[in-house]
C-alpha cells in the first residue's frame, strides 16, 4: 500500500538518499533500522512531504504522493510522530490529544479519545496534567496518542526509543504492535536495532541512504552482518 520507489533526496546540494526503495503492506509493522545519519529521518520527511524528492516516487494505494504538501498527505491517512515529539508543553494531555483530531469531526474525536485512553491508560489518569510535567515515556505515548487521534491508516514513528530506558522502549513498541493489530499499518524508524527487529513483521537495514538488507524481523536479527554492525554481538 505504501510504495517508496527509487527515491533520491537531500538538503540543498547534499544528497542523502540514493535509489531508496521499500514498501509497507496493509496491516504490517515494518522497521527501518540503521546507524546515526543513515537517512532514516530523511526518508520519513520525504514520505510526509516535508522535503521534496529529487527523483523517484512515493505512492499510496497506487496514488502518487510525491509533490503533495504535508497537510494533503495527512488527509491520505499518513501521520508521522517526530523524534522530538512536538508536544504543546503547557497544555494538558487531553488538549494535546484533541489537537491531533484537527482533520476530523468533533463527534469522531470522542470515540478516538476513548480508544487512545484504552491503549495508554496512563494518559487517562493524567489527562488534566500539563504535557511538560510527564516523563519521557509518557510524553512518547502522548505523541503517539495524538497521532492516533487523526485516525491514520499508516502511522510513522521516528525513533520512539530516544531518551527512553529499554523497559520503557518495550512498552512503547508493544503499543506499536497493538496499533498494528488494530489494523493500522506502522512504519518504525529506529537506531535501536535489537528491539525494532524483534517486533517487526518485516524490516530494512539502511546504509548511506539506501536499503542494504531486507527480510523478516527474525531473519535480519539472525543475519551475521546485522549482528556485527547493529546488535553489538
Ligand atoms: P539520526 O539517528 O541522526 O536521526 P538518521 O538516519 O535519521 O539519523 P537523518 O536525520 O536522515 O539520519 O540524516 C541524514 C544526514 O542528513 C545526516 O548526515 C544529517 O546531518 C543530514 N541532515 C539531516 N537534516 C538536515 C538538514 N535539515 N539540513 C542539512 N543536513 C541535514
For residue 188, which of 155, 139, 216, 149 has the smallest C-alpha distance? 155
Would the CA dihedral through 85, 146, 39, 49 be positive or negative?
negative
**CA–centroid distance, residue 164 to ligand 1 (Å):** 21
Is residue 40 in contact with ligand 1, taking CB distance under 6 Å? yes
Mean of pLDDT values over 181-208:
95
How many Cβ atoms from other residues are within 10 Å of residue 214's Cβ? Answer: 16
For residue 213, which of 90, 136, 202 has the smallest C-alpha distance? 202
Q: How high is the pLDDT of residue 231?
A: 80
Confidence of residue 107 (pLDDT cuts 50, 70, 90): low
Cell of 179: 496499533
Are the CB atoms for 27 and 185 separated by under 8 Å? Answer: yes
Atom of ligand 1 nearest to the CA of 189: 7
Q: How high is the pLDDT of residue 213?
A: 95
Flag whether pLDDT at 149 surpasses 70. yes
Q: Which of 47-51, 84-88, 135-139 has the lowest mean pLDDT?
A: 84-88
Q: What is the pTM of this model?
A: 0.94
Residue nearest atom 9 in ligand 1 by C-alpha distance: 39
How many Cβ atoms from other residues are within 10 Å of residue 104's Cβ? Answer: 14
**CA–centroid distance, residue 16 to ligand 1 (Å):** 8
* Rounded CA separation 19/16 (Å): 10
ipTM computed for the complex: 0.92
Would the CA dihedral through 70, 47, 88, 114 be positive or negative?
positive
Mean of pLDDT values over 56-85:
93
Helix axes 136-148, 166-181, angle to 10 degrees: 10
**CA–centroid distance, residue 11 to ligand 1 (Å):** 9
Mean of pLDDT values over 161-183:
93
Domains of the chain from N-terminus onward: 2-77+152-230 (3.40.50.300), 87-148 (no CATH)
Flag whether pLDDT at 142 surpasses 90. yes
Amino acid at each position: 500500500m505504501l510504495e517508496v520507489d527509487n527515491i533520491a533526496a537531500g538538503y540543498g546540494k547534499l544528497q542523502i538518499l540514493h535509489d531508496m526503495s521499500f514498501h509497507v503492506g496493509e496491516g504490517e509493522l515494518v522497521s527501518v533500522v540503521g546507524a546515526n545519519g543513515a537517512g532514516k529521518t530523511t526518508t520519513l520527511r520525504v514520505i510526509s512531504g516535508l522535503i521534496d524528492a529529487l527523483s523517484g516516487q512515493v505512492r499510496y494505494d497506487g496514488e502518487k504522493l510525491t509533490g503533495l504538501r504535508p497537510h494533503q498527505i495527512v488527509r491520505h491517512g499518513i501521520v508521522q510522530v517526530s523524534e522530538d515529539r512536538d508536544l504543546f508543553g503547557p497544555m494538558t494531555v487531553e488538549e494535546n490529544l484533541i489537537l491531533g483530531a484537527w482533520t476530523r469531526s468533533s463527534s469522531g474525536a470522542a470515540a478516538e479519545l476513548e480508544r487512545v485512553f484504552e491503549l495508554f491508560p496512563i494518559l487517562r489518569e493524567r489527562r488534566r496534567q500539563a504535557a511538560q510535567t510527564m516523563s519521557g515515556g509518557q510524553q512518547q505515548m502522548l505523541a503517539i496518542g495524538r497521532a492516533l487521534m487523526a485516525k491514520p491508516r499508516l502511522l510513522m514513528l521516528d525513533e520512539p526509543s530516544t531518551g527512553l530506558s529499554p523497559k520503557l522502549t518495550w512498552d512503547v513498541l508493544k503499543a506499536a504492535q497493538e496499533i498494528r493489530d488494530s489494523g493500522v499499518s506502522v512504519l518504525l524508524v529506529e537506531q535501536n536495532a535489537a528491539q525494532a527487529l524483534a517486533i517487526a513483521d518485516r524490516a530494512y537495514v539502511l546504509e548511506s541512504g539506501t536499503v542494504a538488507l531486507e527480510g523478516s524481523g527474525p531473519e535480519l536479527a539472525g543475519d551475521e552482518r546485522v549482528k556485527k554492525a547493529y546488535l553489538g554481538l
